[in-house]
Amino acid sequence: MLNVFPKKSLYMVILLASTALTACGGGGGGGSSFTVTTDTKSGTLPQIRPFIADPAVPDFDASATEYVDTPTLREMGLTPFYATGLSGSGISVGVLDSGIDGDHEELDGRVSGGGDWQGDTQGVTDPFGHGTHVASIIAAARNQRGIHGVAPYADLVSYRILNAEGRFGSQSGNDMVPAILGNARSRGLPVINNSWASIYEINDIPKSTLDQILRQELQSYFQLAQVNGPIMVWAAGNDSDDQVSIRSGLPYHYPDLRQNWLTVVAADNNLREPRYTNRCGVAQAWCITAPGGGDDQYSGGIYAAIPDDQYSRKSGTSMAAPFVSGSIALLLEQFPGMTPRQAAARLLATANYDGLVTADGCTIATCTEAQMANVFGQGLINLPDALDPIGATSIETTSYVKMPLKQSVLVTPNVLGGSVRHALADQSIIVRDSFDNAAFVLALDTYILPSPLRYATGYNVIKARDGEHLAQSGFRFAEQGSIPLSAYLPARLTDPSYSSDGNWVGYEHIGSDTRQQIFFSQGKNRSVVHGVISQYHQNTQRWMGLGFDHQQGWADGYAKGAFDTASASLWGFAGIRQQYEMVTLAAEAMIGQTRLNPKTHSLITSGQYQYNAFRLGATFDISHVTRLHLDLLLPPAVQSGQIQFQLPSQIDVGTGKTHYSHAHADLNLNDRESRVDVMMKHL
């Protein structure tokens, strides 16, 4: 802040409170198809949509000179977010300052004139230079020149309130602010940057006096302090005071303003408290810290634009405030439907004291949190954490049920491969966090994975415990997890969901050339029955059978939380083995169908799919002691099918009620797994 007024007596404070205002910076004193059908009702519902990068925004290049020359953004951890396309596109920021050079190469085409209370330019010129510097920190373009703004494709609305000397001049806040905020409300601006302040601290003037001298201003502030109202971002002031300046501290006297207020103090490039910055003091609950440059602005100031396509370094809380305003723009772009209040609250909740050092050497490790809060408020801005959900997250699977997100996962069975995830690759769901029930759009396929298990092969699948040929009818028991078919039956395609849940018990009837078997397994999560008839005739063996199961899960997959579902499957299999002199050939096939039985709280509403499997095998008796076995297996894989979903996809911003869309995934396997086994055996 340019210190053009010394400290005055209380009389002079009252006299000058509405006119002694300056800029707070500069000069060291400042494959498968997917169809979505949405349930719609009469009226238009504000829709929360997934973040989609604006295709008109140039690709981000972290090695570009303009980004390298703006190291603060990299230090803020924003590089990976820019890489996803985040740019502030579609968000407008109001700037109350000395005007903005709307023709500057960093801002050309993105500055609208909101009004000029010091001239007749509508605010799109800047004879003082401060407003352009502030505006470029917010939104300098990604244009391979100069610098990179926090939100490089946000739009700006310029309200010129400071004259060519950086002062109010003959105007007052009561004259300008009500009209400005009325215009900002009509434009729907979500954030308004105020890098200007009084030279007096918030506790210099009693509330009763402020009621009188800021009457019209206060009325306009109260009108915007609504749930969907804009956030007023304020520079705390550059007078080395223990308290913030008057307007940035107004919620101290007027608590109703607090949720729409953010006050910003500065840290230098080493995250130390510079001498110039005011401290948060009584404003610490709505105060945050951001980069503002060092005490020597010529070497350690924030590098940004000034009029006439020029650039300069400046330091001050004026420079810290636009880092916060630009951050809110990125939050609102990333999470459409989030209110400005929620964005501000997230910045406050995720700020921390890591790395911050007070002028007298305090750190969070050596001093108390209360001492740090008195200086830095809630701490250093941490936009990456604010861009993530805070606390526990949940999915509203119905109007009355919320399922924890961390317990919600769908690991689809091997039979489906990656077909479900592929079909849902572009779909999103709305989740809520426990911080303030804020809604976030997340990619649905993040929570859908193919099963890590592979289809079990090998003769252990069919090996019975006794391993002996039964000479007569009788019961037999099998090893846990084994399917107790006869050791003479080389079938692998008997169960598409091999599971070790439960032990088997069954009945086998042996005739002269036929064998009839039926086996049961009752486990904790699965009930299965197998029936098979096999026939032997000289060198030929044939078999066919049926299987049925009911599972509390989904085959060899894993469906929990918001995807919780049971399943029932029916399959049939058949095979033949033919022995010649030195060669034995075998062929098998399986077809089946699975029907889903989702739980009432599941996002899955219904589903069924068909699958098949094939196997060819050959055994060569090379000598009387050596045998070579070759096996080609096409494990069970989906042939066709469809799964229905009910997805939370829309929020009525007025009521906060979740609305759902019905969607279906058509399952068609693109790449089928195959398996070749080669075995050499010495007899």
Mean pLDDT for 350-372 is 97
Question: For residue 471, what pLDDT band results from cuts at 50, 70 and 90?
Answer: very low
Q: Using 50, 70 and 90 to split pLDDT, how confident is the model at 469?
A: very low
pLDDT band at 235 (very low <50, low <70, confident <90, very high): very high
pLDDT of residue 489: 54
Least confident of 141-150, 448-457, 515-524: 448-457
Run of H or E residues at 606: strand 604-621
Structure tokens, 87: 């740019």
What confidence category does residue 452 fall into, taking pLDDT thresholds of 50, 70 and 90?
low
Which percentage of the chain shows pLDDT scores above 70? 85
Which residue is it, tokens 């009029």? 307
* Cα separation, 379 vs 569, whole angstroms: 56
Mean pLDDT value across the chain? 84
pLDDT at 22: 62
* More confident of the two residues 214 and 390: 214
What pLDDT is attached to residue 237? 97
Better-predicted residue by pLDDT, 56 or 109: 109
378/283 Cα distance (integer angstroms): 10
Reported confidence tier of residue 370, pLDDT bands at 50, 70, 90:
very high
pLDDT at 654 over 70: no
| Nearest residue to 278 (alpha-carbon basis) of 203, 353, 369, 368 | 203
In a 3-state reduction of DSSP, which class is residue 444?
A: helix
Among candidates 299, 557, 262, 575, which has minimal Cα distance to 413? Answer: 557
pLDDT for res 24: 73
> What is the rounded distance in angstroms from the CA atom of residue 235 to the CA atom of residue 37?
47
673, 417 contact by CB (below 8 A)? yes
What pTM did the predictor assign? 0.71
CA pair distance 86, 448, nearest whole angstrom: 25
Whether the predicted pLDDT of 150 surpasses 50: yes
Per-residue pLDDT, 476:
38
pLDDT value at residue 145:
94
Boundaries of every domain in the chain:
59-386, 459-682
217/649 Cα distance (integer angstroms): 40
Angle at Cα 258 formed by Cα 252 and Cα 262, nearest 5°? 100
Q: Does residue 110 or residue 656 have the better pLDDT? A: 110
> Which position has the higher pLDDT, 656 or 156?
156
Percentage with pLDDT > 90 across the chain: 55
Q: Is it the case that residue 480 has pLDDT exceeding 70?
A: no
For residue 216, pLDDT beyond 70: yes
Residues in contact with 549: Cβ distance below 8 Å, sequence separation at least 6, in sequence order = 495, 497, 526, 527, 528, 529, 568, 569
pLDDT at residue number 680: 78
pLDDT above 60: residue 361: yes
pLDDT at 462: 27
pLDDT at position 77 is: 94
User: In degrees, to the nearest 5, what angle opens at C-alpha 178 toward C-alphas 173 and 183?
Assistant: 130
Residue 117 pLDDT more than 90? yes
344-383 burial string, b = 16+ CB within 10 Å, else e?
bbbbbbbbbbeebbbeeebebeebeeebbbbbbbbbbbbb
Least confidently predicted of 153-162, 248-257, 538-547: 538-547
For 88, residues 6+ apart whose C-beta sits below 8 A from its C-beta are: 139, 149, 150, 151, 152, 153, 154, 326, 329, 330, 333
Q: Sorting pLDDT into bands at 50, 70 and 90, what band is 536?
A: confident
Per-residue pLDDT band for 412 (boundaries 50, 70, 90) equals confident
Mean pLDDT for the stretch of residues 121-141: 97
Pick the CATH number of 59-386 from 3.40.50.200, 2.50.20.10, 3.40.50.1820, 3.40.1110.10: 3.40.50.200
